[in-house]
Structure 1
Amino acid sequence: MTATAHHHYRYTPHPLHAILLAGTVPLFLGALLSDIAYFRTYEIQWNNFASWLIVGGLVFLGFALLFALVNLIRAVHKKGRPLIYFILLLVAWILGFINALEHAKDAWATMPSSLILSIIVSVLVCVAAWIGLSSLRDGGEA
């Protein structure tokens, strides 16, 4: 009788990964709130705040994306959840980068596209953080 060891993939984020992922949420939400403030007041400084918050969010999100890529490579046999998590982070980073380019325009030219992009990126980052930091495990364990 031959015994084979089954490698069960269990994902718990590395503490640095969790900090980077959790750090993206307030940065992108702050950018969204700054865009809303700019949309309501047209005070150019709100657009500048949003630009800097987006850059910070992209840095954090970029490193979290690297952790997610390593996690995806390690999860050879289980692609569902790690793949969805990686794709969410990748799409959020790409749209966040486009949003940073939108914010690089003249402040008057950024609305409403930068506000819409900030909403989309904030939602994507919140969903990705929920998936990445949730306690659901492989095999239906809680």
Structure 2
Amino acid sequence: MMATAHRTYRSALHPLHAILLAGTIPLFLGATLSDYAYSSTYHILWSMFASWLIAGGLVFAGLALLCAIIGLFRADRRRGLFLAYFFLLLAVWVVGFFNALVHAKDAWGMMPTGFILSIIVTVLACAATWIGLSSLSAGGRE
């Protein structure tokens, strides 16, 4: 009698993908906090901080989106979950891009729309990171 071992391989996110995905949260959260600081103090420097943090968040989210596109073609069993993750990450990038356009205005003109968009993109980034790091990395059931 021969014993056979069944191996289960977990399809976790690539470490670079996970770093890029996790990097979006502090950048977009920093932009939200900078917008809050500007709305409290009206120092223009806070609006410039928010603009740069949003630009960095867009770079990280764009590269994570590129990794998600590659992972979308590699996903086999959990394609539905990966599609939801991909579209959520796409929403992060699109809303973040519009947020960057709003922040390109002068400091007085970007409020309150820029602050509201910063809150929305931060919540979306947290949701995308939650799905990406917990559900997709866990391996799921066989």
Alignment of structure 1 residues 123-134 onto 2, 5 Å = 123-134=123-134
TM, length-normalised to structure 2: 0.88
> Structure 1, residues 47-72: CA drift from partner, whole Å, max 9, x if none?
00000000000001100001111111
Q: Paired residue for 1:3?
A: none
> Structure 1, residues 11-65: CA drift from partner, whole Å, max 9, x if none?
3111111111111110000000000101111111000000000000000110000
Are the aligned partners of 2:12 and 2:138 in contact in 1 as well (CA < 8 Å)? Answer: no
Q: Paired residue for 1:4?
A: none
The separation in 2 between residues aligned to 1:19 and 1:93, in whole angstroms, is 16
The separation in 1 between residues aligned to 2:126 and 2:11, in whole angstroms, is 19
Alignment of structure 1 residues 63-82 onto 2, 5 Å = 63-82=63-82
The separation in 1 between residues aligned to 2:11 and 2:86, in whole angstroms, is 13
5+ residue gaps, structure 1:
1-7
Return the offset for 1:10: 4.0
5+ residue gaps, structure 2:
1-7
The one-letter code matched in structure 1 to 2:106 is: D
Whether 1:49 and 2:49 are equivalent positions in the alignment is yes
Selected match of 2:141 from 124, 139, 142: 139
Fraction of identical pairs, as percent: 63
Distance change >3 Å, CA 46–CA 116, structure 1 → 2:
same
Q: Paired residue for 2:59?
A: 59
| Count of aligned residue pairs for this structure pair | 133
TM, length-normalised to structure 1: 0.88
The separation in 2 between residues aligned to 1:81 and 1:115, in whole angstroms, is 30
Judge which range, 8-17 or 44-53, deviates more: 8-17
Distance change >3 Å, CA 87–CA 9, structure 1 → 2:
farther
The separation in 1 between residues aligned to 2:11 and 2:100, in whole angstroms, is 32
The one-letter code matched in structure 2 to 1:66 is: L
The separation in 2 between residues aligned to 1:34 and 1:93, in whole angstroms, is 19
Return the offset for 1:137: 2.5
Q: Paired residue for 1:14?
A: 14
CA RMSD of aligned residues (A): 1.5
